[in-house]
Amino acid sequence: MNADPADQRKLLDLADLDARILRDQHLSANPPQAPRVRELLAQRATLSQELSARANARDDITAEIARLESDVAVVDARIARDTQRLAAATNPKQAQSFESELTSLNRRKGDLEDMEIALMERLETADAAIAEQEAVIAETNALGAELSAEAKTVVADATTRLEGARRDREAVAASVPDALLALYERLASRGNGAGLLRAGACEACRMVIPPSDIATIRRAQTDDVVFCPECGAILVRTEESR
């Protein structure tokens, strides 16, 4: 195939635009922050499960304290009743029985209050553990929100560049002869469409071309369409190719 050297040079613009389009397509679909955001979402789920476990433990302690307080209230009521009975007792044996029961009740109340104090200490520890976990979750949420905002900016910028590159590509492609454009598109769909020949190397695949192939390429006419023997891309020759 033959093509005007100026038209062949336009293929370099197309290749550059295609590379930019591909890069921004990937970036808009896969911003660099996305993997970390997914990690944070998974981490938050795990942290939330732990928070629920700690909250359940705290609730169990609170329920146990409520039960003890109820038991103390029952003991207090019995102490008040027996104290009244003792004050009204006239029978020495009956009074002794009330005194014995009051001693047992006060001992029971003391045991319950000791248990309540221990549970209150555990409740304080449980509340601190919950607060600590909530702080970690808040920090995780803040970092996730920050990275998500950064990702949205990256996607928006990539989308803007993508739209511009696609418009530019349409304009360049419209100025390339149909046959040459079709050849480029076919090659680009399989890998490299076109690359500049510079310093004996193809800039599409970055491979150095063997001297025998370079000699053949240099014997070709300026309007001949030549190909890289390494990657098959159209080798565009300019003043830099000598």
For the stretch 24-69, pLDDT in tens is 999 999 999 999 999 999 999 999 999 999 999 999 999 999 999 9
> Any idea which residue has 């702080």 for tokens?
135
What pLDDT score does 157 carry?
97
pLDDT band, very low/low/confident/very high, at 90 (cuts 50, 70, 90):
confident
What is the C-alpha separation between 80 and 83, in angstroms, rounded? 5
Question: What mean pLDDT do residues 157-171 have?
Answer: 97
pLDDT band, very low/low/confident/very high, at 194 (cuts 50, 70, 90):
very high
pLDDT band, very low/low/confident/very high, at 102 (cuts 50, 70, 90):
very high
Q: What pTM value is reported for the model? A: 0.74
pLDDT exceeds cutoff 90 at 113: yes
pLDDT exceeds cutoff 90 at 108: yes
Tokens for 143, please give them.
Answer: 């970092």
What is the C-alpha separation between 184 and 227, in angstroms, rounded? 11
Domain ranges of the chain: 5-16+177-241, 27-174
CATH topology of domain 27-174: Helix Hairpins (1.10.287)
pLDDT band, very low/low/confident/very high, at 227 (cuts 50, 70, 90):
very high
Where would I find the beta strands (DSSP E) of the chain?
A: 194-198, 201-202, 207-208, 226-227, 234-236
DSSP string, 203-241: TTTTEEPPHHHHHHHHHS-TTB-EE-TTT--EEE--GGG
CB atoms within 10 A of CB 208: 12
